Structure 1
Amino acid sequence: MALAAPTAQLRLQLLAAHLAVPPAAEADAPPGLARRPCRAADNAAVPNASKICSAEEAAALIPDGVWMTIAGFVGTSMPELLLRAVREQFDATGAPANLGLIYAASVGNSKGRGFDLLAAEGLVDRLIYGWTGSAPGFLKLVRENKVEAWNLPLGVVSHMIRDVAAGRAGPVTKVGLGTFVDPREKGGKLNARTTGDVVRLVKLGGREVLWYQVPDKISVALLRGTTADLDGNVSFEREALYLDQLNQAMAAHNSGGLVIVQVERVVDRGTLHPRAVHLPGAIVDRVVVAPPDLHWQTLREPGYDGSLSGEIRTPLHSIAPLPMDERRIIAHRAMLEIDRPSCVVNLGVGMPEGVAVMVATHAHQNPNTKSVTLSTEAGAFGGIPGGAQRFGTSHNAASHVTTATMIDFYNGGGVDIACLGLAEADPAGNVNVSNFGAGRMPGCGGFIDISQNAKKVLFVGTFTSGGLKVAIEAGKLAIRQEGRLQKFRAAVHEKTFAGASANGRTVLYITERAVFGLAAQPGQGGSAVELLEVAPGIVIERDILPHMGFVPLIRGKVNQMPAQIFQP
């Protein structure tokens, strides 16, 4: 005889018992963290909760040889429990094996936590990524020719995942033309083992574009959210970003594959408002509940910052000013390039992060910054972007969108000013930030997507690197110790930005002692780096020309950098 379905009252009674946490466990919870509200081991107590399982059970479902995509961005939204379960499963059984991974940006702490948990020979045999700087274990596999690997623009990878979900052949775009991902250069290939072409040059309407071919299927998605109900609907109320998780889930589902989502809590059916659900239960196969120590909001620290999720707004006066050094000089000079109100600005990782601090602490020096909208390619509009392990997030954001949507906006020219890193530049204005030789190749990230489409581009970095020491005295800059490495070189290791793609846009190279521009040279077949400004106290013949691998264009009088940036 069939059993009658449990009444709503009985389900709630069982759920209450299921969610109860023993006092001892509650006392052991780390300070500032929500106590773990669900224990996956007790799933048998909840009727019809077939989607809820342990991490071990979920990992055992992943087949060999398939393409897999994983949530995360630098230090945010890492499904750490799932990653650990996959690695433990592989170490114990040798499965899953020979996986292909496709992701926009790795997440981790560069010390074994995060995506590096999967950096084992045999577990992974091919990679497509935008940036993997937080997973050096993958870079080691690439250097040792143990995996096939393609580095492609972050936004392109985001759109590749979306195109798998939609059953399309892959993005067709100008993004990447003239850079190392152009098949006339390297085609994004990273080692000798990588021989297949995923990027093709084609012509549409008489214009050259790149076609990025996608995998036939993405069969597994490892994702994370905040709350799941018993039907697998997942909300993101405590997440700092949406990222590409909806498209990742759709790609795996539509490939006939497996969608596994790590959450911090489970609620009853019908509890979540439909507007709050980001991942519909119809495309979620398994839900795994993680303990707080494996479900950090960002890897900067344990706990939860409501200003990143939009729950609260944090007072910006708490942001400390930058110390008076070369990084502040550069960030200050870049901030002054916000030359009209209501600009949309993108800030890259590293040195550009200082511009956000200058906007928060020195907006009085540039009234245009009071109406500026800072944005991140990860999907945050407004607020003050986070740095380091919080890169991609934003404190007090006005809006969060998916990464693929933000890249659509960027590709269409939505960014008025982009402020990006500067590792190497050559006489034609080409810039490299993706490959520094000797196996140091974190990848291009969103650099290509942004630099090829922003209306104005600022490349920021110190003039030399490796031991540079400067001092500011009486409003003048003094070089106390020159850096060992030249950054303005006769040739870059590879082109992450092609000077030829400027097409009349304003392109500046801002350092602590000089500002250069990209000047078109009609009739001479290209462009050239031109010296525009020098810092007070700097002598061109002593402090600039001897430390460059080429002589920049100098036309007429060279201006002095604004005096206020050398004042406390």
Structure 2
Amino acid sequence: MTEICATAAEAVADITTGASLAVGGFGLTGIPDQLIAAVAAGGATDLEVFSNNCGIDGLGLGMLLDSRQIRRVTASYVGGNTEFARQYLAGELEVELIPQGTLAEKMRAGGAGIPAFFTPAGVGTPISDGGLPWRYHGDGTVAVASPPKEVREFGAAWAGKRYVLEESITADFSLVHAARGDTEGNLVFSKAAMNFNPSAATAGRICIAQVEELVPAGELDPDCVHLPGIFVHRIVHTGPQDKKIERRTVRSAEETIR
């Protein structure tokens, strides 16, 4: 049964130093911001994080970077997070960059109990051949580089194409954000929050969800449930999310008229 937690701090209380976290959201959209803040306040360090990106300076997972609580990040891109880039280039943070679709599938496969899969994405590049800098020395030389991966060809239906083996992702905990949830842990995600939240949720051995609205069991239309409660171990009602804009851009009046 899903445990109902009174606070985000209670929900993440057993996330300790050295834990691995699969975190949902895309940029600052659909991120479990209050759970991340609670992890930051809890003081756990040496964390390994799997997420599409690492927030921006001071927001989202950027909070954990600012407080030096993350040891390693597996993500699709650095984005506009200057502290993320600084720590990586200074040799303070280990970073594995993966094609976005591959990262999503690695999480989904991990949650489905699939240990690895073959994909054409990255064949013939350092993704498959190895040599990507995972960690730098302070002087800018490479301390740890990615190893080469297995590449194979398959039968007639796939003739002429090569595929690289990617191992799936599982984590100690997953942190996700949903628009609605019920007391049995069933979750409904809103719009772009579908990005990475469902797959991250299943990749964690213990899934912790923050929800904007919590309703009694049976109130959600089963056809509208995106993630069944069987995957959700803890849920906390955090109320409406203070949604942030990752990069605000505006047009001049003249440009708008044109």
Same structural fold, with TM-score higher than 0.5 when normalized by the shorter chain: yes
> Is 1:104 aligned with 2:84?
no
Mapping 1:112-511, distance limit 5 Å: 112-120=58-66, 123-183=69-129, 186-187=131-132, 189=134, 191=136, 192-197=142-147, 200-205=149-154, 207-215=161-169, 217-236=170-189, 238-252=190-204, 257-292=205-240, 295-299=241-245
Q: Is the 8 A contact 1:181 1:188 kept in 2?
A: no
* TM-aligned CA distance change 1:272 to 1:182, over 3 Å: same
Aligned partners of 2:126 and 2:132 also within 8 Å: yes
Q: Partners of 2:187 and 2:237 in 1: how far apart?
A: 12
Query: Residues 125, 212 of structure 1: CA spacing in aligned structure 2 closer, same or farther, 3 A cutoff?
Result: same
Q: Deviations over 1:367-424 (max 9, x none)?
A: xxxxxxxxxxxxxxxxxxxxxxxxxxxxxxxxxxxxxxxxxxxxxxxxxxxxxxxxxx
**What are the Cα deviations for residues 27-69 of structure 1, in whole angstroms up to 9, with x where unaligned?**
xxxxxxxxxxxxxxxxxxxxx9842331111121214323211
Quote the Cα distance in structure 1 between the aligned partners of 2:223 and 2:11: 28
Question: For residues 60 and 177 of structure 1, do their structure 2 counterparts lie closer, same or farther at Cα, with a shift above 3 Å needed?
Answer: same
**What SS class does the counterpart of residue 266 from structure 1 fall into?**
strand
Structure 1 counterpart SS, 2:37: helix
CA shift, 1:227, in A, is 1.5
Q: Aligned with 1:105: secondary structure?
A: coil
Distance 1:125-1:246 versus aligned 2 partners, 3 A rule:
same
The separation in 2 between residues aligned to 1:321 and 1:180, in whole angstroms, is 42
- Distance in 2, matches of 1:117 and 1:98, equals 14
CA offsets per residue over residues 179-206 of structure 1, 9 Å max, x none?
443425x346353343453x51412237
Deviations 1:240-264 (A, max 9, x none): 4311222222221xxxx21111111
Amino acid at match of 2:134: K
Cα pair 1:226 1:239 within 8 Å, conserved: no
In 1, are the aligned partners of 2:132 and 2:146 still within 8 Å (CA)?
Answer: no
How far off is 1:220 after superposition? 0.8
Are the aligned partners of 2:75 and 2:96 in contact in 1 as well (CA < 8 Å)? yes
Matched-pair contact (CA < 8 Å) for 2:133–2:143:
no
Match of 2:157 in 1: none
2:8 equivalent to 1:55:
yes
Q: Please, which runs of 5 or more residues in structure 1 have no aligned partner? A: 1-47, 302-318, 325-356, 362-567
Deviation at 1:230, TM superposition (A): 1.4
- Residue type matched to 1:243 in 2? N
Q: Find the aligned partners of 2:105 and 2:2 in 1 and give their Cα distance.
A: 33
Query: What displacement does 1:229 show?
Result: 1.4
Tell me the amino acid that sits aligned with residue 230 of structure 2: A
Q: What are the superposed Cα offsets for residues 340-379 of structure 1, whole Å, 9 maximum, x if unpaired? A: xxxxxxxxxxxxxxxxx9xxx9xxxxxxxxxxxxxxxxxx
Distance in 2 of aligned mates of 1:150 and 1:218? 15
RMSD: 3.0
Alignment partner for residue 37 of structure 2, among 69, 78, 84? 84
Instruction: Supply the AA of the counterpart residue of 1:173.
Output: T
2: CA distance between counterparts of 1:189 and 1:322? 45
- Distance in 1, matches of 2:32 and 2:214, equals 16
Deviation at 1:118, TM superposition (A): 1.2
**SS across alignment from 2:127:** coil
Give the percent of matched residue pairs that are identical in Structure 1 and Structure 2. Answer: 24
Contact 1:69 1:218 in 2 (8 A): yes
Gaps of 5+ in 2: 137-141, 155-159
Cα deviation, residue 298, structure 1? 4.7
TM-score scaled by structure 2? Answer: 0.82
Letter in 1 for 2:178: G
- Contact 1:260–1:287 under 8 Å retained in 2: yes
Letter paired with 2:121: V
* 1:77–1:272 Cα change, 3 Å: same
Relative contact order: is structure 1 or structure 2 higher (C-alpha 8 Å, sep ≥ 6)? 2
Amino acid aligned to 1:247: S
Residue 4 of structure 2: SS of its match in structure 1? coil
State whether residues 2 and 234 of structure 2, in contact with CA within 8 Å, keep that contact through their aligned partners in structure 1: no
Q: Considering only CA atoms, is the larger Rg found in Structure 1 or Structure 2?
A: 1
Is the 2:2–2:232 Cα contact (8 Å) retained in structure 1? no
Q: Going by fraction, where is strand more abundant, 1 or 2?
A: 2
- Normalization by structure 1: what TM-score? 0.40
